[in-house]
Structure 1
Amino acid sequence: MTPIPRRRGWIIAAAIFAVAVIGSAGLAIANPYDNTSNEAACAVWDKPGTQEYERCLDNLNAQSVGEMIPGSQPGTPTISATSIGDDYNPPLYFCRDSGKSHLASTKPPKDCKDPLVCRWSKTDRKYHCENSKEISTSPPGNICKTNPHFACAGEVAITTTTVFDDQRQPPTASSRPTDAVASAPGTPDPTGQALPDQTDTPEPSSSTTARATPTATSSPSPTIAADDPVGQALAQAQKQSLRIWLESDLVNVWKAGPAQLKVAAERLKLYANQSGVVGVKFAYDLGLRGFNSTDEIARFVREASQVLRATLPAGRQIAVDVVIPELGCGAHQACVAAMRKAHPLTTLAAVERFVLSGGIDAVNISPGLFSKEYEPFKIQPATAISNVWLRIRLLSWKTKMPGLFIGSREIGLAHADETRSNKGDADEVARERDAANKLVNERVDVPLARGVDHVVLWTWKQSFSGQTWRLTDSGGGSNAVWDALRTRQNLLRLSVAYNPREPETNVADDVQRIAEVASAIFIFVP
Structure 2
Amino acid sequence: MRLRQLFVIGLALSLLGIGVPAWSAEDPRSCNDLMAADTPAYVVCRWMATPEEAAEIARFWLDNDGQNMRDSGPMNPIVIDCAESGVQCATDSEGDGEMHDVGSPDVEGGEDGGQPECATAEPCFVDPDEVTGKAFQQAVETPAGQAVKTAAASGMRVWIDTELADDHQAGKLADTAKKIAALAAQPGVVGIRFGSGVGYDQKFATAEELDAFIASASAALRKLAPGKKLAVQTAVPVFGCGADEECKRAVTGKQPLLDPDRIGAWLAKGLIDQLSLDGGHFARYAPWRIDPATAQRNQWIQVRARAWDAYAQIAAEDTGFAAAGGSRLTAEQATQAITDRIVAPLQDDAAETVTLWTRWQDAQGRVSRVSGAKWAANPTWDQLGKLTSIRPRLATLYDPVTPEVDVAADLKQLSEIFGQVYVRTA
TM-score, normalised via structure 1 length: 0.54
- CA RMSD across the alignment: 2.9
- Give the corresponding residue for 1:389: 300
Q: Do structure 1's residue 369 and structure 2's residue 281 form an aligned pair?
A: yes
Paired with 1:479 and 1:182, the residues of 2 have a C-alpha distance of 50
Map of 1:309 onto structure 2: 222
Count how many residue pairs are aligned between Structure 1 and Structure 2.
Answer: 302
Residue aligning to 1:333: 245
CA separation in 1, counterparts of 2:262 and 2:196?
A: 16
Contact 2:140 2:186 in 1 (8 A): no
Name 1:241's counterpart in structure 2: 155
Please say if residues 326 and 368 of structure 2, whose CA atoms lie closer than 8 Å, have aligned partners that are also in contact: no
Q: Which residue of 2 aligns with 1:434?
A: 332
Shift of residue 458, structure 1, vs aligned partner = 1.4
How far off is 1:236 after superposition? 1.2
| Superposed counterparts of 1:167-316, under 5 Å | 221-224=136-139, 226=141, 228-257=142-171, 260-288=172-200, 289-312=202-225, 314-316=226-228
AA aligned opposite 1:392: V
Residue 15 of structure 2 is matched in structure 1 by none
Instruction: Give the 3 Å change call, closer, same or farther, for CA 445–233 of structure 1 in structure 2.
Output: same
Q: Is the 8 A contact 2:400 2:424 kept in 1?
A: yes
Partners of 2:170 and 2:356 in 1: how far apart? 31
What does the per-residue CA deviation read over 1:263-293, in whole Å, with 9 as the maximum and x for residues that have no partner? 1111112211100000100011210121111
CA gap of 1:341–1:421, structure 2 versus 1, over 3 A, is closer
Cα 1:466/1:221, change in 2 over 3 Å: closer
Distance in 2 between residues matched to 1:290 and 1:468, nearest whole Å: 26
Partners in 1 of 2:305 and 2:128 — Cα distance?
Answer: 33
Counterpart secondary structure, 1:487: coil
The residue number in structure 1 matching 2:392 is 492
Asked whether the 8 Å contact 1:287–1:346 carries over to 2, the reply is yes
**Contact 1:323–1:367 (CA<8 Å) still a contact in 2?**
yes
1:472 aligns with 2:346: no
Structure 2 alignment gaps of length 5 or more = 1-7, 10-124
**1:462 aligns to 2:377 (yes or no):** no
Task: Call closer, same or farther: CA 1:179–1:225 in 2, change over 3 Å.
Answer: closer
SS at match of 2:138: coil
Per the alignment, do residues 420 and 407 of structure 1 end up closer, same or farther by CA in structure 2, a change over 3 Å counting?
closer
Structure possessing the higher radius of gyration over alpha carbons: 2
Query: Structure 1, residues 308-357: CA drift from partner, whole Å, max 9, x if none?
Result: 11111x31111111210011112222211211111111022232232322
Quick check: 2:326–2:369 contact (8 Å CA) kept in 1? no
Within-5 A mapping of 1:376-415: 376-399=287-310, 401=311, 404-415=312-323
Q: Report if the CA contact (8 A) 1:322-1:351 is conserved.
A: no
TM superposition shift of 1:471: 2.1
Look up the SS of the partner of 1:290 in the other structure: coil
Residues 129-153 of structure 1 show CA distances to partners (whole Å, capped at 9, x for unaligned) of xxxxxxxxxxxxxxxxxxxxxxxxx
Q: For 2:195, what is the secondary structure of its paired residue?
A: coil
Indicate if the aligned counterparts of 2:130 and 2:224 stay in contact, CA closer than 8 A: no
What's the offset of the Cα at 1:520?
0.6
> 1:512 maps to what in 2?
412
- Unpaired runs of 5+ residues, structure 1, are 1-44, 47-177, 185-217, 423-431
Distance 1:480 1:265, change over 3 A: same
**1:265–1:391 distance in 2 versus 1, CA, 3 Å:** same
Higher relative contact order (CA 8 A, sep 6+): 1
- TM-score of the superposed pair, with normalisation by structure 2: 0.66
Structure 2 match to 1:524: 424
Q: 1:421: Cα distance to partner?
A: 4.8
Deviation at 1:390? 2.1
- For the residues of structure 2 that align with 1:515 and 1:291, how far apart are their CA atoms? 36
